[in-house]
A = this chain, B = another copy of it.
Amino acid sequence: MAFEFKSLLSATATTKAEPFSGYPPYHFVGGNIDEPTVPVEALANAVGKVIRTEGHNLAKYGLNSGPQGHLPLRKFICDCLKKRSEIAVKPEEVLLTSGSLQAMDLVNQTLLSEGDVVLLEAANYAGTLTRLDAIGVEYVGVELDSDGMRMDLLDRALSELAKAGRKPKYVYTIPTIQNPTGSVMPVERRLEMLTLAKAYNIPIFEDDCYADLTFSGERPAAIYALDNDQRVVYCGTFSKTIAPALRVGYLVAPWQLMSHILPLKTDAGSGALEQMVLAEYLPGNFDDHVCDLLPVLKAKADALCLALDEHFGASVAYEKPVGGIYLWVTLPENVDTDRLFQAALDQGVAINPGSQWTVDGSANKHRMRLCFGHPSIDNIRKGVAKLADVCFEEFGVPFRSGNIERG
């Protein structure tokens, strides 16, 4: 009889995975990107070249660069941040991480303990919320409008916490192509956020993972860049611009905080080959690559909106995306996307239910996130049509699709 591990599991090991059985045919979840845009040939050339010249350095943990990661890539990130986000930092203030998720984990480990409280956008990246749940940190959701987190509501939330004698550990924000709402916070509001952070003497954790994907190629200065008293921690990634499977993200922080973060990165370094290939490929190629990528994503966003308009008509509301790879969709109040999620999955369509992407899950059961980065335009069209069918069967809406009455 086999030994039973069950009785030995820790309190955190409560869930159980099912064996992986492949992706559903219509896969509107996850930060996957457009396959044909991965610069395969250029990456292959870059990696061959860099391994031949520097491959012997792989014999050392951290190459020659120490625990913060491959120095040439950190230098490129400094140049890139200066040019694109107006952030002026030195390589000593940059830490290469295994995806921006590790950056988030490190910031949380450094600053958060059970029982702490943070503030964040009320609709948010599910991975942020589950991480905070796992640590036992309370989060206060601040509602958004089309310019991102509302500063009057942030002020109110901060004031209420102060009255209750609670000092939040940070305000977490995705100001540029907010996940899932897609909003881009204007400079004025970023400055307001800094003013509030100063007034309440708290730091800001700025997650800029999608910031390179505004379809116009323009973006406001990062909050990190607008700050003048070292109150902002920042993370970014190459997952959405080059390839998510590479797992190369980065954390930017003033040395006073970085020096406390580094001892908590106990993984003996992030993957070096990925750092080396990006350091070889990105300088001289990154801007052009992003330039080529943006119209592809915009065409997919347009196709998704068109398909929703055609198949859901007046039954959906959304803000037309100005960038990114996801759309936040509001359905009629009677639609429960937790139920829709399961029914759609049974038909091969994967969606993100709104309850998982919001602080107040029960108030957002009629919303969903649809990711359009990976599926082809044809797949988007067919998947949305199928989703409309399932939604009608389950909830009686959309009643009309493409001007034709259902039922």
Contacts and interface: CB of A to CB of B under 8 A. Distances in A.
Interface of A: 1-6, 8-13, 15-20, 22-23, 30-38, 40-41, 43-45, 47-48, 51-52, 55-68, 92, 98-99, 101-102, 105, 109-113, 127, 130-131, 169-170, 201, 203, 229-231, 243-248, 254-264, 266-274, 277, 374
Contacts of A63: 245
B5 A260 contact: yes
Contact of A272 (B30, B31, B246): B246
Nearest to A34: B59
A99 B267 contact: yes
22 contacts: A3-B230, A9-B111, A10-B109, A10-B110, A12-B109, A13-B111, A13-B261, A16-B259, A19-B92, A22-B64, A22-B66, A34-B59, A44-B51, A47-B47, A58-B244, A59-B244, A62-B245, A98-B98, A98-B267, A102-B267, A247-B271, A247-B272
Given A13-B111, A127-B266, A254-B2, A243 B58 contact: yes
B67 A17 contact: yes
A12 B114 CA distance: 12
Given A58-B245, A273-B271, A6 B67 contact: no
Contacts of A35: 56-57, 59-60
Contacts of A273: 47, 245-246, 271, 273-274, 277
Given A17-B262, A43-B51, 16 more contacts: A1-B229, A2-B230, A2-B254, A5-B254, A5-B256, A5-B257, A23-B60, A33-B59, A43-B55, A44-B47, A47-B273, A62-B245, A98-B270, A245-B272, A247-B272, A271-B271
